[in-house]
Amino acid sequence: MNKFSYKNILMYSSHQWCGNVEEYFSKNSEKVAVFLMMQRIKNKDNLLRIYEKGKLVKEENIVLSENIFLYYLFYYLQYIRALVKYFSRNDEVIVIAFHPYPLFFMTIQKILFNVRFVFWVGDYFPPINTALILFERLKKFYHDGISYTCYLGDGVNKVMNGKVLVTENRKTIMWGVKSKNITRNLSKIKYTLLYVGVVRNSVGLDIAYDFLRTHKKYKLKVIGICDATLYKKQKEMIKNYNIEEQVYFPNRFFFDDELNKLSKVCLAGLALYTTDNTNAIYYSDPGKVKAYQEMGLPVIMSKTSSIVGFIKKFKAGEVIDRDATSLERAVKNIQENYALYTDGVAKFNRYFYFEDYYRK
């Protein structure tokens, strides 16, 4: 019997952790072509990886553009190139799209290639400006015209369908996780917090800075990127709060090995998003929360996203108001009940273990 669940997959993933979808499909498919894409502010270091029967057989560097229009044009052309180069016309290829762009000209694609599409809708961006209105209309157009769709949270599912659908063709599938079994010594980590992810005004670093300036023995490691303007603003805030010695912020992504090593000296991860329904996180499954859990870190997060219910259910972290006082209380709770929270993280990781979770 063929041990592979799938034949040919073409999909997108991310350099910095994306639900272990690359590992899941590469292990369970005869052939996988996977694009690992950086954020648009970084046009280099994109990769195309080819797996055959569970083994990585080729890796190509893909350079896109920092220009928004050329970026997505090159994005699409590289996708078509991969279809032509790595699959024959007789190969049935399942294309898993997290964005609508690979779905452009679906009818023509189906004529030229033996392709079937799955739209895994990762985000919903409330239409607060013209660009987002047009983008969401485009996404809805392709969503309604495709047979198989899944959603990275019940919030996305509901807004795309008017209600939460659970059918064979449409259902919520959140990020799966894989525990990295990183051990920590509480006495060495109790005063260090971690932030991982793209840095935006909405992620609550200002709250962490406010906490640090009145708690001088604490430190924060910020692992992620932002554009030059926002980075300058962040550095000025750090300087004005007189916390330069407490904050490590290199403005770059760390890859798995170095991120795991750095996380070993941290107590908890921060995800202090804004909580109103104009923030895309309100509807989706925030990747950084799952990333912290994989690394064995309790999360301190704001009251947004359906993942909050699972954090509370398993006691895998603290769900707080967005202020320095609430952050202080959460940190102390985790310090004083460390084993309770790490046990909760382990339960959370077992529930979302990617092999079992995706397969079912």
* Residue-level pLDDT at 63: 80
* Residue-level pLDDT at 68: 75
Gap between the terminal Cα atoms of the chain: 20
250 by Cβ neighbours in 10 Å (0-12 / 13-18 / 19+) ranks as exposed
Of the candidates 72, 24, 15, which has an alpha carbon nearest to the alpha carbon of residue 173? 24
298 alpha carbon, distance to own chain's centre = 17
Q: How is the chain split into domains, by residue range?
A: 6-177, 186-355
CA distance 319 to 201: 20
Residues 6+ apart with CB under 8 A from 47: 15, 35, 36, 59, 60, 61, 62
Q: Which of 29-38, 149-158, 161-170 has the lowest mean pLDDT?
A: 29-38
Is the confidence at residue 131, as pLDDT, over 80? yes
Is the confidence at residue 340, as pLDDT, over 50? yes
Is the confidence at residue 30, as pLDDT, over 80? yes
Average pLDDT over residues 263-284: 93
pLDDT in tens, 200-237: 999 999 999 999 999 999 999 999 888 899 999 999 99
Q: Which two tokens stand for residue 303?
A: 């009251």
Q: Which of 40-44, 133-137, 227-231 has the lowest mean pLDDT?
A: 40-44
- Which CATH number applies to 6-177? 3.40.50.2000
CA distance 20 to 85: 25
Residues 6+ apart with CB under 8 A from 279: 126, 202, 273, 304
CATH label, 186-355, candidates 3.40.640.10, 3.40.50.620, 3.40.50.2000, 3.40.1160.10: 3.40.50.2000
43 CB-side CA count, 13 A: 13
Is the confidence at residue 14, as pLDDT, over 50? yes
CA distance 121 to 173: 10
Fill in the DSSP letter of residue 106. Answer: H
Helix (H) or strand (E) holding 270: strand 268-271
pLDDT in tens, 322-337: 999 999 999 999 999 9
CA distance 269 to 263: 9
> At what angle are helices 205-213 and 324-336 packed, to 10 degrees?
80
260 close to 291: Cβ distance less than 8 angstroms: no
| Angle value at C-alpha 225, between 220 and 228, nearest 5 degrees | 110
Of the candidates 134, 101, 128, 121, which has an alpha carbon nearest to the alpha carbon of residue 164? 121
Average pLDDT over residues 11-25: 80
19 close to 176: Cβ distance less than 8 angstroms: yes
> At what angle are helices 338-351 and 287-294 packed, to 10 degrees?
110
268 close to 334: Cβ distance less than 8 angstroms: yes
The percentage of residues in the chain with a pLDDT greater than 70, rounded to a whole number, is 96
Of the candidates 258, 256, 345, which has an alpha carbon nearest to the alpha carbon of residue 300? 345
* Residue-level pLDDT at 54: 92
* Residue-level pLDDT at 247: 97
Is the confidence at residue 40, as pLDDT, over 80? no
17 close to 256: Cβ distance less than 8 angstroms: yes
Model confidence band, residue 99 (pLDDT cutoffs 50, 70, 90): confident
100 close to 112: Cβ distance less than 8 angstroms: no
